[in-house]
Amino acid sequence: MAIRIIRENGDEILRKKAREVEKVDDKIREILNDMVETMHKFNGVGLAGPQIGILKRLVVIDLYDDDGPIKLVNPKLIKEDGKQEVEEGCLSFPNQFAKIIRPKKVVIEALNENGEKIRVEAEGLLAQAISHELDHLEGILFVDKIIPGTLEYVEPENNK
């Protein structure tokens, strides 16, 4: 496993639409494992393929609970319900946070790291994270959706 470089604001790849994964193989599993390791290193909750420069429909999410990381290949939104106002950040926008409206509940279908079809029903933080990462696969960034006047820059701990 390896730590990948996270693409940051201004990198044009973040605005591109990711392509479907045609086959879940060892290379895809290696990328997913690298994504989890990279997300953990930077204390993220989610990471999408384009954020590490790979235009494939790959997403990893970890709420740091007993369930462990979720690895999604070719996730598709099936249903969303309700609305929630949330504070959100993004590994591609270090130290920036804003309020956003996200669905309260989502249902998605995807393949897991073994190429098996799975269905995930999520609410709250998991629904928020899934919505955020699915946006990345479409070239949509959280700053496109912020509630005006709520974007804040937080000074990193090691700079204080």
Task: For residue 20, give the nearest of 111, 124, 87 by alpha carbon.
Answer: 111
- Catalytic choice (85, 87, 133, 157): 133
DSSP H or E run through 53: none
The SS3 assignment for 31 reads: helix
CA separation, residue 50 to residues 12, 104, 135 (Å): 10, 25, 11
Please report which residue ranges of the chain form alpha helices under DSSP H: 26-41, 124-137
Q: Which residues pair with 118 in a beta bridge?
A: 110
CA distance 7 to 109: 26
Confirm whether 133 is a catalytic residue.
yes
Provide the token pair at 98. 């804003």
Q: What amino acid positions are annotated as catalytic residues?
A: 133
